[in-house]
Chain A
Amino acid sequence: MKIKWVLLAILSTTIVNVLSGCESLAVLDPKGPQAQTQANVIWLSIAIMAVIVIVVCAILVFVLTKYRDSKLPKDYEPPYIEGNHVVETIIVGVPILIVIFFSVVSVISNNKVEATPEGYKGQDPLVIYASSSDWKWHFSYPENDIETVNYLYIPTNRPLEFKLYSFGPITSFWIPQLGGQKYAMSNMVTTLHLAADESGEMMGRNANFSGKGFAENTFHVEAISQDKFDEWVKEVKETAKPITEVRFNELLKPGHEGQLTFTGTHLDFSPAPEGENAGHHHGSSDSNANSKGEHMKHDHKSSNSKEKSGHNHE
């Protein structure tokens, strides 16, 4: 009997240790309201699911100890039991109640993460275009008219609206401590609502496999106060060179880059695939087909200029 208690003590201390260790895991250490919502959902579901696992294991252990062949009298013959309505109502009813509860939680949290974060409503969001190319992230700040590569400065206490798209394979924009990820794709723009409650450095990455350089497809995130952010913008405008179409097309070529800073954004000469520039439209019409054709031409032009730029360097 004593051994059992010792084992139980070891088990419970391990569980407590593991759970307290979880506090430091990126996803469970939120720095913004969206990640906080998600962490709350995760903890809630872990708690309820743990109860289910424990119940199943308890029944299993009970059955295995009580009805094992070696423990039963020699003449014991198991009965024929078709089923029991009460038992079946319980094993259907309780899961249904749990699923209903989770459905409500899921719907509420979905609407939370797909909108301006709570407590930030009514504020003017900072829109940042985050576009990926093999294997880099380009961050365009139209409001400030600057652009960075592979690093992201964001102001705290202001809603952020990331507009995501890709110049290549499907990628996924993810800053675990600020909130969950969303895909960036080549022919449409997706929107991710985030915000940072506190300042600090964070890891961001592409989470969706995109080929050879995928593992290193990360970026550095720094949340700073609005004042510092404004200072940073000012400094960039004074020191950085403007982004040109030639330079940008060079950046799009497959490979890795360090952290780069530019004034202006590539959106001026290479607009995001949204609105009339979208790659496809739901409910197509002639005008859509036209705009599609223009988009195609545009692509063609930019690839030409890429070749040209190569010659210029020579």
Chain B
Amino acid sequence: MGFFSRFLIPNPSPVIYSSMVAIGVTVLLIIFGLTHFKKWFYLWSGWLTTVDHKRIGIMYLISALLMLFRGGVDAVMMRAQLAVPDNKLLDSQHYNEIFSTHGVVMILFMAMPYIMALMNFVVPLQIGARDVAFPRLNAISFWLFFMGAMLFNISFVIGGSPDAGWSSYFPLAGNEFSPHVGTNYYMIGIQIAGIGTLMTGINFLTTILKMRAPGMTLMKMPMFTWSALVTSIIIIFAFPVLTVALIMGTMDRLFATKFFTMTDGGMDMLWANLFWVWGHPEVYILILPAFGLFSEIIPTFSRRNLYGYRSMVASMVFISIYSFFVWTHHFFTMGQAAYVNSIFSITTMVIAIPTGIKIFNWLFTMWKGRIRFTVPMLYSIGFIPLFTIGGVTGVMLAMSAADYQYHNTMFLVAHFHNVIIPGVVFAVLGAGTYYWPKMFGFMLNERIGKWAFWFLTIGFCLAFFPMYITGLDGQARRIYTYSESSGFGPLNMISFIGAALMAISFVLIVYTIYYSIRHAPRDVVGDDPWDARSLEWATHNPVPEYNFAIIPQVNSRETFWDAKYKGHELFKGDYEKIHMPNNSGGPFIMSCIFFVFGFALVFSIWFLAIIGLIGIFVCMAHRSFEIDHGHYISVEEIKATEAKFGGVNKWK
């Protein structure tokens, strides 16, 4: 291929061309808006260079919502294509690209940053810290994730999207069968984002272990912090596997190595194994923080303490270890012996036990409680039965002999959406509403929020339950069309209607945000709008830069509740000057260079790649010699801020 022809899309369609125009117009509008309203400096100094965990959390949140839109459009297009037999809306190649990017975008660039958003925003507040352990590393994590995601997303207008599925199995993903650059984007985009995630894991492990407020022993940590701790450990063990696998894949594609090829001793099964050795723990990286979020929301709106705290912690630790011993269940059909399948079948089913314990603990938390049906609570209540259905179908899939029939069918697709949507998506949407006042100082509209919840839940059931049936009837996943005689038509139409309802729910969620920004009353929320129980609610809404004017004293698992109702003294002593980290443009600049480096690798533009690599090392070297002791916030400044919020000592 010629130098320039590589940048063209291999299978252009009017949809893609119009998206190109739309993207171009949006970029121009943003540039014009920033210039017109003179917001460039604000953007740079307030956001691009920030090391504040709260602002980084909000940036993760915005990215996640954008990616939810992108992945959601993919999903609706897929369901529209399959709604009727022999549909001509999309051709095979386009459909393959869409389901590949849908998977990657939803898992890695939507669910992950959504979880990271909440971890970033909430964890330091929950443990009474002023920031994470390594604030600048945190900024690097975010920007690497962001640049990785952007690199992956531009594939759709420059050079073509990956089309080998989100699991990108070799040899299909190799040069022989995927000659265009799509899979390069996959390998390098995910690599860059993955490095960011790995750093987040290290950062939060350190933060949670070293920066808890006085009195907060491990067994007094709020459940979400526990889940973040366990997740960080899984990240640290799982992500290096992905890093190595992606390097091997990149080498195969760019430098003609033979790790996963069909000839010369390459082994395609190795990729599948490495991918799922990371891929299965990844599922728990998503779901454990979601469990943590439900464990915050359910007690608050049941007005009760979390039932079975110890068993909750124990089951989470158990799951985290076990998540590394089940990967083979993703390919029971690869031809290993019956005893191998038996072992992995049993280990997989065993995971159902701690998960079941958690379900019952949430039920018993509501028991004898005082349940309020707010939007976050609706998501948590919807989660329980739907996730249980997803969980038990997981046990069905774990029976390897039967899995030979479920594997690669819509049954499997129904199952994992049935755990990820009610599990992760409900959690982040519920927690997004729950923590919204903490982030922005006003509430999201409850009425529209409830409509969104019902559209999402009903849409979800309509979209995914029929897939269990079509799967058992032999509808393979990833087929772009099917014949009328197969009889899949009516149920796929129901799925499409469900997907449309879910799309409406997304519109409603965005509208809730818009409506609330315009109309929600300000300054009436107070610091504790939900009558919550844990430490993050002991500071103001929105949270001041330094989080807590005085570091809180922790006495129990529900310190804040004790401070409100049992006379615990949360804030002892007087104001002192607060040491805070300085903003830095370093992370953003370095990540931009990463982007250029990645882009150069995707298209094998070697001189640019070498310059990029040098640039990255220069940034690291610069950081090594930089002297930066941070800055102090003076007592006067703290007093002024606190006075504005009505003072720190009100819980005394």
Given contacts A83-B308, A211-B96, A215-B92, contact A181 B408 (CB under 8 A): yes
One of B26-34, B366-374, B637-645 at the interface:
B366-374
| A52 & B392 in contact (Cβ 8 Å cutoff) | yes
Complex: how many Å from CA A119 to CA B147? 60
Complex: how many Å from CA A105 to CA B342? 10
Residue ID in chain A nearest B310 by CB atoms: A83
| A176 & B405 in contact (Cβ 8 Å cutoff) | yes
Q: Mark B27-44, 1 if CB is under 8 A from A, else 0.
A: 000000000000000000
A59 within 8 A of B: yes
B49 within 8 A of A: no
B473 within 8 A of A: yes
Given contacts A27-B405, A67-B371, contact A53 B385 (CB under 8 A): yes
Complex: how many Å from CA A198 to CA B356? 42
Q: Give the distance to chain B from A154, nearest Cβ to Cβ, in Å.
A: 18
B621 within 8 A of A: no
| A102 & B385 in contact (Cβ 8 Å cutoff) | no
Q: Give the distance to chain B from A217, nearest Cβ to Cβ, in Å.
A: 9
Complex: how many Å from CA A59 to CA B392? 17
Q: Give the distance to chain B from A297, nearest Cβ to Cβ, in Å.
A: 11
How many A-B contacts if CB must be within 8 Å? 276
B25 within 8 A of A: no
> Which residues of the partner chain A approach B93 to less than 8 Å between Cβ atoms?
212
| B265 & A292 in contact (Cβ 8 Å cutoff) | yes
A269 within 8 A of B: no
| A38 & B402 in contact (Cβ 8 Å cutoff) | yes
B517 within 8 A of A: no
| B169 & A169 in contact (Cβ 8 Å cutoff) | yes
Q: Mark B384-407, 1 if CB is under 8 A from A, else 0.
A: 110011001101101111111101
Given contacts A88-B308, A191-B335, contact A26 B401 (CB under 8 A): no
Complex: how many Å from CA A187 to CA B163? 23
Residue ID in chain B nearest A295 by CB atoms: B263
| B395 & A102 in contact (Cβ 8 Å cutoff) | yes
| A182 & B342 in contact (Cβ 8 Å cutoff) | no
Residue ID in chain B nearest A40 by CB atoms: B402
One of A1-9, A106-114, A229-237 at the interface:
A106-114
Q: Mark B354-373, 1 if CB is under 8 A from A, else 0.
A: 00110111011011111111
Complex: how many Å from CA A299 to CA B265? 13
> Which residues of the partner chain B approach A112 to less than 8 Å between Cβ atoms?
401
| A213 & B338 in contact (Cβ 8 Å cutoff) | no
Q: Mark A85-109, 1 if CB is under 8 A from B, else 0.
A: 0011001100110010011011101
Interface residues of B in 177-194 (CB under 8 A from A): 177-178
> Which residues of the partner chain A approach B474 to less than 8 Å between Cβ atoms?
25-27, 176, 203, 205
> Which residues of the partner chain A approach B403 to less than 8 Å between Cβ atoms?
180
Q: Mark B322-355, 1 if CB is under 8 A from A, else 0.
A: 0000000001011101110110011001101100
| B370 & A91 in contact (Cβ 8 Å cutoff) | no
Q: Mark A171-206, 1 if CB is under 8 A from B, else 0.
A: 010101001111101111011000000000001011
Complex: how many Å from CA A252 to CA B45? 60
| A110 & B350 in contact (Cβ 8 Å cutoff) | no
| A67 & B369 in contact (Cβ 8 Å cutoff) | yes
| B305 & A80 in contact (Cβ 8 Å cutoff) | yes
A49 within 8 A of B: yes
Complex: how many Å from CA A254 to CA B350? 43
Q: Mark A63-80, 1 if CB is under 8 A from B, else 0.
A: 110011100100011111
> Which residues of the partner chain B approach A59 to less than 8 Å between Cβ atoms?
360, 363
| B367 & A182 in contact (Cβ 8 Å cutoff) | no
> Which residues of the partner chain A approach B356 to less than 8 Å between Cβ atoms?
91, 95
Residue ID in chain B nearest A108 by CB atoms: B401
One of B475-483, B522-530, B595-603, B626-634 at the interface:
B475-483
Q: Give the distance to chain A from B340, nearest Cβ to Cβ, in Å.
A: 9
B304 within 8 A of A: yes
Complex: how many Å from CA A212 to CA B408? 17
| B385 & A56 in contact (Cβ 8 Å cutoff) | yes
> Which residues of the partner chain B approach A10 to less than 8 Å between Cβ atoms?
none
A306 within 8 A of B: no
Identify which of B262, B405, B481 gathers the most chain A CB atoms within 10 Å of its CB: B405
Q: Give the distance to chain B from A226, nearest Cβ to Cβ, in Å.
A: 26
Complex: how many Å from CA A284 to CA B233? 36
Residue ID in chain A nearest B315 by CB atoms: A92
Q: Give the distance to chain A from B620, nearest Cβ to Cβ, in Å.
A: 39
- Pick from B177, B369, B371, B476: contact of A207, CB below 8 A: B476
- Pick from A37, A67, A174: contact of B367, CB below 8 A: A67
| B366 & A209 in contact (Cβ 8 Å cutoff) | no
B172 within 8 A of A: yes
| B363 & A60 in contact (Cβ 8 Å cutoff) | yes
- Pick from B381, B392, B402, B478: contact of A209, CB below 8 A: B478
B50 within 8 A of A: no
> Which residues of the partner chain A approach B263 to less than 8 Å between Cβ atoms?
279, 295-296, 299
Complex: how many Å from CA A87 to CA B311? 12
| A180 & B333 in contact (Cβ 8 Å cutoff) | yes
Interface residues of A in 138-169 (CB under 8 A from B): 164, 168-169
| B264 & A296 in contact (Cβ 8 Å cutoff) | yes
B302 within 8 A of A: yes
Complex: how many Å from CA A207 to CA B404? 11
Given contacts A81-B307, A169-B171, A215-B481, contact A41 B399 (CB under 8 A): yes
> Which residues of the partner chain B approach A64 to less than 8 Å between Cβ atoms?
366, 371, 381
| A172 & B333 in contact (Cβ 8 Å cutoff) | yes
| B385 & A60 in contact (Cβ 8 Å cutoff) | yes
> Which residues of the partner chain A approach B171 to less than 8 Å between Cβ atoms?
168-170, 186
Complex: how many Å from CA A168 to CA B268? 11
B469 within 8 A of A: yes
Given contacts A38-B402, A180-B407, A205-B476, contact A211 B172 (CB under 8 A): yes
Given contacts A207-B476, A209-B165, A215-B481, contact A45 B396 (CB under 8 A): yes
> Which residues of the partner chain B approach A286 to less than 8 Å between Cβ atoms?
none
Complex: how many Å from CA A115 to CA B341? 14
Q: Give the distance to chain B from A263, nearest Cβ to Cβ, in Å.
A: 29
| B393 & A210 in contact (Cβ 8 Å cutoff) | no
B472 within 8 A of A: yes
A22 within 8 A of B: yes
A238 within 8 A of B: no
| B363 & A63 in contact (Cβ 8 Å cutoff) | yes
A249 within 8 A of B: no
Q: Mark A39-56, 1 if CB is under 8 A from B, else 0.
A: 001100110010011001
Q: Give the distance to chain A from B101, nearest Cβ to Cβ, in Å.
A: 14
B241 within 8 A of A: no
Complex: how many Å from CA A84 to CA B96? 51
Residue ID in chain A nearest B345 by CB atoms: A106
| 12 sampled A-B residue pairs with Cβ under 8 A | A41-B401, A53-B389, A56-B384, A83-B308, A110-B338, A170-B169, A170-B268, A205-B476, A210-B172, A213-B92, A215-B479, A215-B482
Given contact pairs A27-B472, A59-B360, A114-B338, enumerate 14 new A-B contacts (beta carbons under 8 Å): A27-B474, A28-B472, A38-B405, A42-B472, A92-B311, A106-B342, A114-B341, A169-B171, A176-B474, A185-B268, A207-B407, A215-B479, A279-B265, A292-B264
6 shortest interchain CB distances as A-B pairs: A180-B404, A190-B335, A109-B401, A169-B172, A49-B392, A114-B338
Give the interface of B toward A (CB within 8 A).
92-93, 96, 163-165, 169, 171-172, 177-178, 262-269, 272, 302-305, 307-311, 331, 333-335, 337-339, 341-342, 345-346, 349-350, 352-353, 356-357, 359-361, 363-364, 366-373, 381, 384-385, 388-389, 392-393, 395-396, 398-405, 407-409, 469, 472-474, 476-482
